[in-house]
Structure 1
Amino acid sequence: MLSRRKALKQMAVGCAALAMPKVLFSQTDQMMKRAIPSTGEKIGVVGLGTWQTFDVGNSSSDREPLKAVLKALVDGGGNVIDSSPMYGSSEKVVGDLSTELELKKAIFFATKVWTSGKQSGIDQMNASMRKMKANPMDLMQIHNLQDWKTHIKTLYDWKERGLIRYIGITHYVDSAHDDLERIIKSENIDFVQVNYSINDRNAEKSLLPTAKDQGVAVLTNRPYSGGSLFRKTRGQQLPEWADEFDCKSWGQFFLKYLLGNPAVTCVIPGTSKERHMIDNLGAGIGGLPDEVMRNRMVKHLQSL
């Protein structure tokens, strides 16, 4: 398995030759779902991030492949789509395409407030809801903790009024983990979104255990460390023992490591390619590595 792209291409060619469905796992397989601790509502463990990948504006040619990504997500049992005003046109693209494909009822919409000031936050969140055509919004998060003490008051009010269903906070750097942890201990937070990957495990030290103890759902961003994990494993063969937890690709290897941590509710890798979306979904099917296996995975990666 020389690389994710080459491996998936070979698998797709093989499937076409055998007139098989355009999926990399059996239609009878079911993606795992995990409960949001604050309510018990279950969501698919593999979702979709939209940073850069869905920022395509009104270009019909650029939007077309994204329709296949959204359809693959839902067909494969996933439902979480995460966006932000920071991501250019991504919110509007998600809203337009999910409406066009009649997928809105199947999707768990998540976005963020990314500004300072109460009224600015209100205006931005209203705009996000219009763009994503999500009313109520399933999850509204405070992006990178920007002016969080102001926005949290609005979010509490909006949740009580039924404008949003869940409240979240996010960040993408290790240095913010202590702040995230303090907030989920002191505030009534439903979700925390944090950077976490097999080679960026700072969140394991305290933040993830605290989230689990506090009953806070966890979304993980940067699960591939900005693509560096694929660069590290380029030309390397997947270890044979990966079959022990139903792992078929390096992408699944990295995601299954995260999902093997019971504190993680959903991983949200971004992609604009249907074949990558399908491969990502495979991480939520079959077995997951236990703690002994997860340590073995880390050591194997470090040895490459």
Structure 2
Amino acid sequence: MHARPIPSTSQPLPVVGCGTWLGFDVGSDPVALAQRGKVLDALFAAGGRVIDSSPMYGSAEQVVGELLGTRAAKEPAFVATKVWTSGKRAGIEQMERSMRLLGVERVDLMQVHNLVDTHEHLATLREWKAQGRVGYIGVTHYTSSAYADLEKVVRAEALDFVQFNYSVADREAEQRLLPLAQERGLAVLINLPFGGGKVLKALRGRRLPAWAAEIGCDTWNEVLLKFVLSQPAVTCVIPGTSRPEHMAANAKAGEGEIPPPAWWQDKVAAIVA
């Protein structure tokens, strides 16, 4: 799998990771846990490392922590989670709980989820970063209606990462956020690369166009993710899944040729038609 550097440190990061919203909220169900373990196996087998979670995602942090703690092979995961509450003390307590659930003393990336009490939490995170409790800090959102607020924070704060939505069906981020992230030297995580599943649902049953083979794609998953990765500002895309075969298909998008944005100009209309 290709890797791209985190601008603030030049640390390479594999370009396809795994989101855990919905798919990893399975509690202690042994069958579901085993299947999610196979999802992570597929991620690591393909060279991926990024796992993104949040206290908002039910039991997902606990599930990720259990699965990482019981893996026989100890590939180094890049664990990202979030703080999603109001107030300094509540934020500290929530982040400490997340670390316990994830089974880590240091989180690779801690993000302020959906810009909730951003200024307060970033102050804490800068202290934690200086102490080595977190590796990187960032902010997130999942809808283009929040781009104006996200842009203000990105311009005003010293960050390492920004996370937001981008897909072939929602390209507004191309206008300001992606260029701004490059300008500010931020790593970019992309959520909802399938448009919350709507794009894949609309493509179900449709044959891949002939040009998909030109870039080594066997599935629509790969096509849609390669589209996202065509943007040079994107560091890593984090599609969520609960199925190992889908994780393997997603991860394959990070291999081989990733065409530049111009290559897609006459192909996007055919995808979203």
Residue in 1 aligned with 2:41? 71
Unpaired segments ≥5 residues, structure 1:
1-30
After TM superposition, list the pairs within 5 Å mapping 1:175-186 onto structure 2.
175-186=145-156
* Residue 233 of structure 1: aligned partner: 203
What RMSD over aligned residues (CA atoms) do the two structures have, in Å?
Answer: 1.0
Aligned match for 1:220, one of 184, 190, 205: 190
| 1:37 has 2:7 as partner | yes
The CA deviation string for residues 73-128 of structure 1, in whole angstroms up to 9 with x for no partner, is 11110000000000000001000111101455510000000000000000000000
Q: Which residue of 1 aligns with 2:168?
A: 198
Conservation of the 8 A alpha-carbon contact between 1:181 and 1:211: no
1:244 has 2:205 as partner: no
| 1:272 alignment partner in structure 2 | 242
Is 1:51–1:87's contact at 8 Å kept on the other side of the alignment? yes
**2-structure distance, mates of 1:110, 1:291:** 28
Equivalent pair of 2:44/2:75 in contact (CA under 8 Å) = no
Matches within 5 A, 1:89-100: 89-100=59-70
SS in structure 2 opposite 1:141? strand
Are the structure 2 counterparts of residues 245 and 207 from structure 1 closer, same or farther at C-alpha, using a change threshold of 3 Å? same
For residue 292 of structure 1, report the CA deviation from its aligned partner.
2.5
**2:7–2:187 CA contact under 8 A, matched in 1:** yes
Alignment partner, residue 101 of structure 1 = 71
| Alpha-carbon distance in structure 1 between the residues aligned to 2:176 and 2:73 | 37
Partner in structure 2 of residue 111 of structure 1: 81
State yes or no: 1:159 paired with 2:132.
no
Which structure: larger Rg? 1
Runs of 4+ in 1 over 6 A off after TM superposition: none
Match of 1:169 in 2: 139
Q: Secondary structure at the match of 1:138?
A: strand
Inter-partner Cα distance in structure 1 for 2:264 and 2:9: 29
> Counterpart in 1 of 2:93?
123
Q: What TM-score do the two structures reach when normalised by structure 2?
A: 0.98
Read off the aligned partner of 2:268 and give its amino acid letter.
V
Unpaired runs of at least 5, structure 2: none
Shift, 1:255, TM fit: 0.3
TM-score with structure 1 setting the length? 0.88
1:120-169 CA distances to partner (integer Å, 9 max, x unpaired)? 00000000000001221000000000000110100011001111000010
Higher helix share: 1
Which residue does 1:16 correspond to in 2? none
